Amino acid sequence: MSTHIAVRDLCLYYGRNCVLKDLSLEIQRNEIFTIIGPANSGKSSFLQTLNRLNELHAEFRKTGSVTLGAEDIDTIDVEQLRARVGIVFALPFPLPLSIFDNITYGPRMHGIRQKTQMTDLVERSLREAYLWDEVKDRLHHPAMNLSGGQQQRLCIARVLAGQPEVILFDEPTSGLDPISTARVEETMMVLRGRYTIVLVTNNVAQAARVGTRTAFFLMGEMVEVGDTKDVFTRPSDSRTDEYVTGKFG
């Protein structure tokens, strides 16, 4: 186990509003790091900091540092960073293109052009995301025609096609039914060990099912971090205990 992402003294602001205070933590290579906490605890903002996606908001500001491997993320070219650190959003949002084109969109922008290479890439990514068997006969149909769960797995395949080192999941199953949720969780389990995964979830049970380590965020602060087992069975902070047992949140 080696440290993949190291966060030091990170503070995040939108305008004057501080959404995350003095966060320091380390995420290990190839683990599933889960973050739980109620709404407005700063967990999604933290996640979108890791690929600098919240820089799309004009008001956003941060202090402190985040390193990916040995590099500070602010020194990495932002387009490269976003390819290396992929993200899956809460609501699946396929681009208004075919299934095939949705997956090849990212790689094409980064300069891959050959047709055969593309076809291989599409098949490999869809297989990894457990979607291949369901869509292999209609790769050129609009992605919008897929069901919600399939769309979410397409978004995962889209991220995988960029060959990232880290995959961020931002409440990936909050808009899905239980069966689709189970499928997406299976996909995450399959990906474990090959990619570093950071999962933000509202679903405490999900964090317990798939996580290797878990952090509990509350109102912009990290209350506790540790092995998932420990956080759920013998939390060191009473607020964590109350949250995971469903007393608030």
Partner 1 sequence: MTVRKLREWCIERVIFMSGITSIVIVILIFIFLLKEGLAILGHVGIFQFLFGANWYPISDPPQFGAFPLILGSVLVTLGAAAISVPLGVASALYIAEIAPKKTKEILKAGIELLAAIPSVVIGFIGMVTLGPVIKLIFGLPTGLTALTGSITLAFMAMPTIVSIAEDAITAVPRQYREAAAAMGATTWQTTWRVIAYAARPGMLAAVMLGIGRVIGETMAVMMVTGNAALIPHSILQPVRTLTATIAAEMGETVQGGDHYAALFAIGIVLFVITFAINGVAELYLHRTTRR
Query: Interface residues with partner 1 (CB under 8 A)?
Result: 51, 53, 56, 58, 79-83, 86-87, 89, 91, 93, 95-97, 105-106, 109-110, 142, 155, 158-159, 162
Query: Is residue 14 classed as helix, strand or coil in its secondary structure?
Result: strand
Q: Give least dist CB 212 to partner 1, A.
A: 24
Beta carbon of residue 168, minimum distance to partner 1 (angstroms, whole number):
9
| Structure token digits, residue 17 | 């509003």
Asked whether 225 and 200 are in contact (CB, 8 A), the reply is no
Residue 120: which residues within 8 A CB-CB, separation 6 or more? none
Residue 96 or 193: the one with the smaller Cβ distance to partner 1 is: 96
> What's the rounded Cα separation, in Å, for the pair 222 and 202?
15
Q: How far apart are CA 128 and CA 107, in angstroms?
A: 17
How many Å apart are CA 95 and CA 111, to the nearest integer?
19
CB of 81 to partner 1, least distance (A): 8
Residue closer to partner 1, measured from CB, 86 or 220:
86
Distance of CA 82 to the CA centre of its chain: 12
Which of 28, 80, 22, 68 is closest to 219 using CA atoms?
Answer: 22
Kindly state the smallest distance separating residue 83's Cβ from partner 1, in Å.
4
- Give the nearest distance from C-beta 84 to partner 1 in angstroms: 8
Identify the residue whose tokens are 């060990």: 193
Q: Which is nearer to partner 1, 106 or 235 (CB)?
A: 106
Q: Kindly tell me which of 42 and 106 has the beta carbon lying closer to partner 1.
A: 106
CB of 63 to partner 1, least distance (A): 23
Tell me if residue 30 falls in helix, strand or coil.
Answer: coil
Nearest residue (CB) to partner 1, 78 versus 190: 78
Alpha helices by DSSP H, listed for the chain, are: 43-50, 78-84, 99-109, 115-128, 132-135, 148-161, 178-191, 204-210, 228-233, 238-244
Closer Cβ to partner 1, 83 or 188, answer by number: 83
Instruction: Name the DSSP class of 192.
Output: B
Query: Which residues pair with residue 18 across a beta bridge?
Result: 13
| Nearer residue to partner 1 within complex by CB, 117 or 145 | 145
The least distance separating partner 1 from the CB of residue 141, rounded to whole angstroms, comes to 10
